[in-house]
């Protein structure tokens, strides 16, 4: 955990600096390719095969663990400022995952490095603030969007980690068996709807029909006011994304 944590924190710093002060063109900058391809897509098959590796690779968790370790070594005790409300459940994670999906799929300039630098700062601030307020474990399990996301995908894997007699051990199980575990945590349906709805919209938004509708709206403003054109495109795509998420949620609840 220490080795992977140190590497992940260093990599986060490198990607953020590349997005902040590197080449402004997305094609010449490391950050967009790493975030949207290596991280967002490349980590999925690893998690599906080997389990939730994100629990080892999360730079936000690693940084918080270092701070907590240093604090304890200084002989100080710390308690979360507030108890995490049970009714809140996974709603924060669902909201943050929706925000990431909106950035990727709704905002026309989502690949611009400076945009990604700001997104990294905002997500990092929210994540560490949540850990500080409610405690590391509670926020990671309910509010850290990528931990919850990869955690759900890891249910497909034949490997899992369980606590037995106070120890965490790796267990082997039939593939897909983890999907049968019942989930009563509030916000779970919303999170799954964002997972599946964002993928559905990603495909639908690439169709010629959607692109034609988007062009008809944006073409009125793109010459005179590019910023207005971006706002119109973002709003139109965001409505489509929300509709897809809502449709998945309704079908899920109906089933």
- Please, which residues have CB within 8 angstroms of residue 91's CB and are 6 or more apart in sequence? 186, 187, 190
Q: What's the alpha-carbon Rg for the chain, to the nearest Å?
A: 20
pLDDT at 153: 94
d(CA 74, CA 99): 37
> Which pLDDT band, with edges at 50, 70 and 90, does 166 fall under?
confident
> Which pLDDT band, with edges at 50, 70 and 90, does 99 fall under?
very high
- Which alpha helices (H) appear in the chain, and where do they start and end? 2-21, 30-33, 43-50, 54-57, 59-73, 91-105, 113-134, 136-142, 145-153, 188-204, 208-218, 226-254
d(CA 248, CA 244): 6
The gap from C-alpha 12 to its chain's centroid, in whole angstroms, comes to 14
| Through-space distance between the first and last CA atoms of the chain, rounded to whole angstroms | 40
Structure tokens at 106: 């709704």
The DSSP secondary-structure symbol of 164 reads: E
Q: What is the pLDDT of residues 189-211, one digit of tens each?
A: 999 999 999 999 999 999 999 99
pLDDT(223) > 80: no
pLDDT at 155: 92
Q: What is the pLDDT of residues 30-70, one digit of tens each?
A: 999 999 999 999 999 999 999 989 989 999 999 999 998 88
Structure tokens at 98: 């929706």
The mean pLDDT of 112-135, rounded to a whole number, is 95
Structure tokens at 136: 């590391």
């Amino acid at each position: 955990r220490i080795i992977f944590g140190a590497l992940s924190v260093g990599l986060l710093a490198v990607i953020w600096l590349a997005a902040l002060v590197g080449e402004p063109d997305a094609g010449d900058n490391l950050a967009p390719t790493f975030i949207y391809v290596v991280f967002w897509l490349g980590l999925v098959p690893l998690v599906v095969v080997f389990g939730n590796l994100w629990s080892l690779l999360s730079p936000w968790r690693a940084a918080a663990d270092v701070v907590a370790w240093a604090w304890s070594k200084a002989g100080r005790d710390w308690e979360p400022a507030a108890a995490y409300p049970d009714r809140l459940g996974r709603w924060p994670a669902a909201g943050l995952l929706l925000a990431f999906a909106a950035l990727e799929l709704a905002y026309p300039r989502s690949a611009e490095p400076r945009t990604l630098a700001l997104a990294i700062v905002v997500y990092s601030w929210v994540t560490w603030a949540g850990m500080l307020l409610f405690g590391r474990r509670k926020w990671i399990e309910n509010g850290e969007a990528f931990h919850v996301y990869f955690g759900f995908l890891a249910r497909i894997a034949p490997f899992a980690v369980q606590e037995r007699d106070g120890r965490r051990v790796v267990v082997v199980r039939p593939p897909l068996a983890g999907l049968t575990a019942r989930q009563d945590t509030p916000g779970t349906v919303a999170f799954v709807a964002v997972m599946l709805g964002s993928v559905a919209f990603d495909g639908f938004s690439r169709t010629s029909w959607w692109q034609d509708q988007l062009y008809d709206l944006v073409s009125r403003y793109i010459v005179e006011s590019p910023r207005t054109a971006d706002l119109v495109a973002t709003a139109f795509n965001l409505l489509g994304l929300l509709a897809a998420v809502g449709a998945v949620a309704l079908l899920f609840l109906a089933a």
